[in-house]
Amino acid sequence: MPLPLIIGAAALVTAAYGAKKGYDGYQKHSEADEIVKDAQQRYDRKKVAFDEQEQETTSALDQLGKKELEVGKSFNEFKILADKLLQQLNAGRQNKLEIKIPEHKLKNVENYSYTAIGVLGSVAGAGAAGAAAGFAVYGGVMALGAASTGTAISSLAGVAATNATMAAIGGGSLATGGLGIAGGTAILGAAVAAPVLAIAGWAYNSHGEEAVKNARKAEQEVAKAVEKLGRAIEQLGDTGEYVRKIRRTLTSIFGQFNQYFDTLKEIENCLQDARSRNADVGPVMARFNDSIMRSIENGYALAAILVDVITTPIFKIKKVGGKVVENKDGMPVMETDADGSMVLNDTGLDSALIKASSEAGKFAA
């Protein structure tokens, strides 16, 4: 065979081989692209489901936080009125009337009220985003806790108390120097961080088998992320369920509390009416004596029950040797699972809710 034909034939073989390798490479890239595309779609579907659940749970936390703050504000108003009426009842008495509520329970109610008012003041002043949801997650835990100075928040005053309170639950909005707590994000930490899905770039910067290999690696990472998202969705769902249970219980008992509070308000209105007519309030006070004492005592008893529920942590607190672990600011550290998510305090919450409902039943108006 003449040399030119031999060279020509060799060139044809080489071209055919090159074409086949090119086609093989194209097929491998197409395979890698399909793997990445499928992985991305699976992740996106699960992420959409997660986002919906996170929004739902965060909304539930926000509603619970607002209810808890409302409760705390009412406690302060109740105390002011109760103290005023009790002082009037005791005016001129040698044997002073006293409410039969343990001092430590009264102190807990006062501490909680102070904490709630501090948060409400910060929110009103700076529009702290996510403060209610953050308060639902951390507020009850830190209500009776310590500020970064190690001083009990209840013993602080004014701006110092407000700053310590907001610092303890994350500080509210970024504009005020805080972290801005969003419910689900705070609960889950970094557990649902998105995997790196720029795999197409890996694939097309590689060749043939290497592209597929990189795509398979990405697929495995996505599978792990999807599993984490699945667990996170379940955890957020369980959290949301308990948050709604807590809110229902608080709403019910708070309704009982308000019946006694309303009674005191009505009595105060009667007294104010008598004063406006320059009438003797003595007979009015005598007529309402028992009602005032009963309303104050039962109101405080229900307030103490509400505080016990609110200060039961939604998530488990980390303990070592039976002692609560605290961070550098003196606040309790939450337990986390392998994914970095907080651990739901389901047993503790069940016990607290059952106990609260049972005890509240003793104070039906």
Mean pLDDT computed over 151-159? 57
Q: How many CB atoms lie within 10 A of CB 62?
A: 20
Residue pair 173/128 in contact by the 8 Å Cβ criterion: yes
Q: Torsion-angle region of residue 280: left (phi > 0), alpha (psi -120 to 50) or beta?
A: beta
* Largest pairwise CA distance in the chain: 135
Looking at per-residue confidence, does 104 or 75 come out higher? 75
What is the C-alpha to C-alpha distance for residues 43 and 57, in angstroms, rounded to an integer?
21
- Tell me the range of 119-123, 128-132, 227-231, 237-241 where mean pLDDT is highest: 237-241
- Quick one: pLDDT at residue 303? 97
How many Cα atoms within 13 Å fall on the side-chain side of residue 25?
11
Range with the poorest average pLDDT among 53-57, 209-213, 270-274: 209-213
Query: Average pLDDT of the chain?
Result: 77
* pLDDT-derived band at 228, boundaries 50, 70, 90: confident
- Quick one: pLDDT at residue 157? 56
pLDDT in tens, 190-213: 455 555 444 444 444 556 677 788
- Tell me the range of 151-160, 232-241, 268-277, 295-304 where mean pLDDT is highest: 295-304
Looking at per-residue confidence, does 213 or 86 come out higher? 86
Range with the poorest average pLDDT among 9-23, 55-69, 118-132, 290-304: 9-23
Percent of the chain residues topping a pLDDT of 90: 28
Burial classification of residue 169, based on how many CB atoms lie within 10 Å of its CB (0-12 exposed, 13-18 middle, 19 or more buried):
buried
Burial classification of residue 214, based on how many CB atoms lie within 10 Å of its CB (0-12 exposed, 13-18 middle, 19 or more buried):
buried
- Quick one: pLDDT at residue 143? 62
Asked if the model's pLDDT at residue 50 lies above 50, the reply is yes
What is the C-alpha to C-alpha distance for residues 296 and 89, in angstroms, rounded to an integer?
12
Range with the poorest average pLDDT among 18-32, 185-199, 245-259, 286-300: 185-199
Q: What is the pTM of this model?
A: 0.81
Asked if the model's pLDDT at residue 269 lies above 80, the reply is yes
CA-wise closest residue to 187 among 143, 128, 138: 138
How many Cα atoms within 13 Å fall on the side-chain side of residue 12?
6
- Quick one: pLDDT at residue 329? 59
The helix/strand/coil state of 319 is strand
- Quick one: pLDDT at residue 13? 37
How many Cα atoms within 13 Å fall on the side-chain side of residue 133?
24
pLDDT in tens, 316-332: 888 888 887 877 756 67
